[in-house]
């Protein structure tokens, strides 16, 4: 069946569709979803694709690939909006805007079950019955910085529950005035609860209320001639005011809002999200939506908004740098999906306008930086294409490297670079087992065989260029692997270290040629290959070190006479980790199931030989 017949068949199908709200799913000949759309009336919307003259370049491109149309009817348009974006996230269609933001956002968790709660970093699913959460924060640094402030001002514990209950004396955190040592009763339950309540107020943005309470406690302690306690509260007020001066905050406006700006230039878009909680800016995150070629600015913003809030909590307000025609439907859809009312605003004044200005500035600066980086990488790829004599521009590069220590715990790594930079979602590591220790040829061949076998099995496209860390020997071993998999046409190069391991002396060998590629006057091309090689080396050595560290930690405990897998597990579970076991006293160790006093002394002496 030719394309015209296919379009005619689909056109007839469209006429029979019900004119009800729903979602339509368009797939290609291979059954892969290429577009997902929503409609207030399915019949009218789908029919609009099959007019004599396509309505847009996007419709024209879809019609060239479409094979089937499936529909799902919904009760309301807002249900269709939610389903549309759920399916976009699931299928990653070719012609839909996709928000590339796979990360969850961290929160601060306050444990409610414990008599002496701790404030800790949390990422992932939240168990609301057992804890209280504050955030989201844009990154790990923002959470760590806030937790650091909480420790300095309120002297709250940050240790695990197992470590806490096994203390017999204060730890270093108490000595450096970062904890009040509730584990050994250096603070009463009443005073610790006061600190916890003040810390919660701080996270809510009630800084003025905290300062007033601290001043009250300071005056009270002074009148009671408890000058040490009065000095403590005086210092805490001073610390709090220093932190306040470093934050952009409107203390009188307790607003929870996400301030979102979309900026586009030269076919690329940047979405900046500024997180404001209780009037306090927690930080920002920038995201670069993909597959935006055929969509308008407003369509990209609407789609990005829905995809973002399918995975993240909705605040009371969402402030945008432009209006949306579907604003009311999106508000209703967000409320329906998260059971929480939110208001979308695009005309703001006063402090909200200041926040929006900051968000727009973040988006503009991030986009400018991304475009500059992309242009630089694109130029380097062009230079590399010319240097290697490729007929087509090299766009996707993959590089392999192996890391080990005298053949022990070998790890192979694969990194991917395209015109947007390093694509970390395509990075892979391979544990190398069953080979002669230190045989780099066999190790890298093993990794490449596993990697390319999967490419074959999944029907994916080959990268434009395969880079290996090494010379002609490495290239030949890789070539044999690809031949065994019946893979043809893969361009391969090797980068070998030169004299004195000086990067200036690095040599690049192209498969099929005896001598190194002449890179004189092609510094940018050589630098690109070196950068990819160095990134592969970094990724490999990081994996190797993590594996080696784990091996050392496991073997160090089991090397103690009398410690087997079961007792090791009990020790690590009770103390929360290897470092805590090392720091534990004999009295702490005997509290562990299966550890008697003699064995506790052995463990202690193993880590404290003097």
Q: Could you tell me if 352 and 312 lie in one domain?
A: yes
Q: Please, which pLDDT band fits residue 381 given cuts at 50, 70 and 90?
A: very high
545 within a domain of the structure (yes/no): no
pLDDT of residue 251: 46
pLDDT of residue 417: 92
Residue 215 has pLDDT above 70, yes or no: yes
Q: Could you tell me if 112 and 231 lie in one domain?
A: yes
CATH code, domain with 453: 3.30.420.340
Residue numbers of the domain that contains 469 = 397-404+411-536
Q: Could you tell me if 239 and 262 lie in one domain?
A: no
Q: Could you tell me if 38 and 80 lie in one domain?
A: yes
More confident residue, 544 or 430: 430
β strands within 387-534, DSSP E: 397-405, 408-418, 421-422, 428-431, 465-469, 492-496, 507-510
181 within a domain of the structure (yes/no): yes
d(CA 279, CA 197): 19
Find the mean pLDDT for residues 361-388: 89
β-pairing, 280-287 vs 257-265, is unpaired
pLDDT of residue 273: 92
Structural element, H or E, at residue 301:
helix 297-311
Q: pLDDT tens digits, residue range 183-205?
A: 888 888 888 888 888 888 877 77
Number of compact structural domains in the chain = 5
Write out 392-408 in H/E/C secondary structure.
Answer: CCCCCEEEEEEEEECCE
Q: pLDDT tens digits, residue range 492-527?
A: 999 888 777 777 778 888 888 888 888 777 788 888
Q: pLDDT tens digits, residue range 139-168?
A: 787 888 888 888 888 888 888 877 787 777
Structural element, H or E, at residue 271:
strand 268-277
- The DSSP bridge partners found for residue 428 are 414
Q: pLDDT tens digits, residue range 328-365?
A: 999 988 888 877 889 999 999 888 999 999 999 999 99
Find the mean pLDDT for residues 251-280: 85
Residue 406 Cα distances to 402, 429, 439, 536, 571, angstroms: 12, 19, 10, 19, 31
Write out 231-261 in H/E/C secondary structure.
Answer: HHHHHHHHHHHHHHHHCCECCCCCCCEEEEE
Residue 126 has pLDDT above 80, yes or no: no
Q: Could you tell me if 232 and 173 lie in one domain?
A: yes
More confident residue, 156 or 1: 156
Least trusted range by pLDDT, from 236-250, 267-281, 305-319: 236-250
345 within a domain of the structure (yes/no): yes
Question: Contact 449/479 with Cβ under 8 angstroms?
Answer: no
CATH code, domain with 578: 1.10.150.20
432 within a domain of the structure (yes/no): yes
Rounded to 10 deg, the angle between the 350-388 and 523-558 helix axes is 110
């Amino acid at each position: 069946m030719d394309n015209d017949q296919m379009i005619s068949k689909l056109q007839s199908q469209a006429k029979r569709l019900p004119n009800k709200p729903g979602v339509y799913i368009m797939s290609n000949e291979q059954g892969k979803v290429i577009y997902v759309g929503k409609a207030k009336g399915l019949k009218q919307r789908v029919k609009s694709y099959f007019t004599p003259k396509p309505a847009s370049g996007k419709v024209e491109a879809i019609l060239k690939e479409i094979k089937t149309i499936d529909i799902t009817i919904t009760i309301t348009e807002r249900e269709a909006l939610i389903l549309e974006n759920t399916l976009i996230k699931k299928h990653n269609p070719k012609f839909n805007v996709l928000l590339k933001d796979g990360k969850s956002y961290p929160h601060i968790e306050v444990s409610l079950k414990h008599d002496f709660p701790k404030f800790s970093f949390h990422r992932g699913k939240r168990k609301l019955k057992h804890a209280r959460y504050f955030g989201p924060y844009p990154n790990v640094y923002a959470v760590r910085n806030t937790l650091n402030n909480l420790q300095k001002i309120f002297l709250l514990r940050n240790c695990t529950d197992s470590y806490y209950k096994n203390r017999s004396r204060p730890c270093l955190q108490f000595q450096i005035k970062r904890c009040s040592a509730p584990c050994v009763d250096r603070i009463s339950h009443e005073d610790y609860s006061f600190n916890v309540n003040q810390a919660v107020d701080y996270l809510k943005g009630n800084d003025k209320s905290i300062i007033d309470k601290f001043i009250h406690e300071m005056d009270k302690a002074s009148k009671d001639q408890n000058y040490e306690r009065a000095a403590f509260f005086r210092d805490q007020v001073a610390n709090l005011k220093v932190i306040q001066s470093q934050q952009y905050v409107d203390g009188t406006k307790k607003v929870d809002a996400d301030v979102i700006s979309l900026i586009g230039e030269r076919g690329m878009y940047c979405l900046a999200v500024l997180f404001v909680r209780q009037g306090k800016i927690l930080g920002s995150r920038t995201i670069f939506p993909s597959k935006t070629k055929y969509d308008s600015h407003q369509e990209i913003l609407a789609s990005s908004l829905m995809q973002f809030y399918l995975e993240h909590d909705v605040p009371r307000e969402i402030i945008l740098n432009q209006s949306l025609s579907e604003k009311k439907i999106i508000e209703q859809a967000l409320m329906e999906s998260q059971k929480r009312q939110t208001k979308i605003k695009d005309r703001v004044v006063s402090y909200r306008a200041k926040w929006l200005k900051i968000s727009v500035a973040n988006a503009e600066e991030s986009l400018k930086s991304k475009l500059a980086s992309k242009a630089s990488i694109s130029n380097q790829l062009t230079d590399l294409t010319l240097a290697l004599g490729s007929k087509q521009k090299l766009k996707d590069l993959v590089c392999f490297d192996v890391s080990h220590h005298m053949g022990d715990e070998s790890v192979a790594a694969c990194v991917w670079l395209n015109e947007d930079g390093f694509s970390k979602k395509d990075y892979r590591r391979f544990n190398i087992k069953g080979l002669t220790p230190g045989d780099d040829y066999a190790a890298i061949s093993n990794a490449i065989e596993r990697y390319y076998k999967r490419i074959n099995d999944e029907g994916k496209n080959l990268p434009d260029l395969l880079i290996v860390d090494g010379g002609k020997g490495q290239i030949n071993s890789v070539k044999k692997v690809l031949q065994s998999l019946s893979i043809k046409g893969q361009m391969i190069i090797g980068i070998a270290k030169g004299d004195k391991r000086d990067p200036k002396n690095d040599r690049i060998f192209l498969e099929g040629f005896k001598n190194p590629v002449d890179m004189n006057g092609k510094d940018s091309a050589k630098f690109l290959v070196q950068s990819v090689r160095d990134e592969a080396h970094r990724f490999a050595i990081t994996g190797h070190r993590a594996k080696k560290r784990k091996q050392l930690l496991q073997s160090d405990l089991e090397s103690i006479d009398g410690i087997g897998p079961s007792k090791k597990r009990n020790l690590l579970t009770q103390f929360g980790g290897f470092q805590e076991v090392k720091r534990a006293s004999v009295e702490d160790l005997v509290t562990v199931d299966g550890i008697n006093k003699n064995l506790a002394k052995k463990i202690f002496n193993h880590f404290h030989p003097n």
